Structure 1
Amino acid sequence: MSVVDYLHVPKLEAQCLKHLSQRSEWTLKDQFTLAENSHSEKLVRQIMNSMNDSFVFNEVVPSDLDSLANNTKSIVLQKAFQLLGHRKPSPPPIEHEEIFEQRINEILEQVEIQNHEGQVLADQCRLLKTHSIVEEFLVLKPNGIRLDEVNDSAEMRELMNQRHSAHNALERNYFEAQIQVAKWKHLYTKIDDADPEGINFDKEIINDVLLWFPPIINRNKRNNLGALELAVGNLPIDAIYRNGVARIENQRLVPNLMNPFQWMRSIEISSPKVQNGQLENVQIPDGIRQVPAEANFKILDNFIRNIRCKYYDGLA
């Protein structure tokens, strides 16, 4: 693995990983140390994927996560989430009140995990909606407005490649939000420069939509991930975006006591409006994936149904 780290030979790395997973006498703990020393993110992932038990996790992963490289730490934390974060040794006997509060804390830890995953899901829904709005507008080909110029830029191609190779939903949301900021800003400028005749698109909509992206970018930002300088530039939309970001950063989050899950409300708001009878008239392909019935997730089911309806209706 040291040779792989030095020479960067994919075939050799693949053979080493295969050997370690099938025939190696190395323990998982030894393999984890090897992965850290040889900077092998793939080996770390292979080790994490092989573990389905929090006790094994505790034996393999050092208790001091800050000693790990950033990439390794991110992968390990993701696995810890999957195993519900159980990394503490068995506690000594405690009083009944403490046992009760311990159970409460376990519930609250699960709520934090649930809320975290729910927020990721809500961000995915919002990004899909804003993506579909742009696509729906461009289908009309207003005054020849296209996004080829921004899509073909080197920075945009790099972001799209990073989104394609992202390891999880958080990273995909992070890159997708940046991609869409660049597209919406470009769209605003094109509309600003075009003949207003034939363009039925309120630029104020773009101003509002742009403010959806900074919180998503900030929530999913990682030190080891690339980013565009989205707040720079001398165009009118650049100043609008900068001012919007500044307003968002100065706002204090006030808990919504009437709504236990804000991310659910976010999904609900992101759902496109569909006219009565529109669903029956749209030809949606058979056999495509649906929200599982056992999930009993009506808000997400409505979002998926409505956004598919809008998309396939636009193709008709």
Structure 2
Amino acid sequence: MTQGSSHDARTAGAHRVVVIVDENSNPFELGCATEIFGLRRPEIGRDLYDFRLCSPEPRTLMRDGFFTLTGVAGLEAADSADTLIVPNRPDVEVPRRPAVLDAVRRAHARGARLVGFCSGAFTLAEAGVLDGRRATAHWQWAHSFQARFPSVRLETDVLFVDDGDVLTAAGSAAALDLGLYIVRRDHGAEIASSVSRRLVFAAHRDGGQRQFVERPVPDPPDESLGSVLAWAQERLDAPLTVADLAAHAAVSPATLHRRFRAQLGTTPLAWLTGERLALACRLIERGEPRFEMVARRSGLGTAANLRALMRREIGLTPLEYRRRFGL
């Protein structure tokens, strides 16, 4: 399998994302990175990133010998990354190559953003860039990780962790969540929503949601949350409450709460707030200049509440967000 280069005139000057692929790397996380950061975006009108794969060897045998990756850049490509996604693999007890760890350390020293998907947290920890910092990893390896890297502040029951210039995702599906979160952080909610629509994937699952969902298999249609979610998304500007959602679903608030926990890994109120905040961001990006109007149309009430939520959840005030992502 040979990589087709995306490094040409169409991505000149774009933020460069480089993925290190090493022996026994997981194909799924590689696919997530390629899908989110590497594909052309004709529906947006521009490409978001300059994307490259690199490897320490000319031929890289992927997990369980599924296929061999060839034709990618050498490891030196990591030295030009603005964002470096480190390799992950199922055999977490096997140390990484020194050359890979050195590339990670160099990237960190020059200020590149580092990303670990699933067991990629082990690579970051081996390189020493997680010491004293927050991170997450797949629940299956949490005890092993904590025993090997006690100086890392491991958060064991979240989807992903943003610790500034180092970000980690807990598992395979959480790689998509973290990837979309990075797109949203770089390009705003409207662009992230467009990417998620192409993926047919939820645009906003907060990193604090639980890794383990108690009933991962979808419920029968009469217990699905789909209709109530769609109903609420059309009425975000209304004074909706959890009781309103429960009434529309024809269940008690307690039953609705259990279904949200089981199917989405969050609470109805947290989901509703997240949807309203995402709508507020899109309104600001589309050019609505009045923050009071943004707050009302998104159901967040007042500009003060909008400001507090955006600062807490996004790290930017509405004014800062408009300067960064507005028309």
Tell me the TM-score normalised to structure 2 length: 0.32
- Tell me which structure has the larger Cα radius of gyration: 1
More strand as a share of residues:
2
Tell me the TM-score normalised to structure 1 length: 0.33
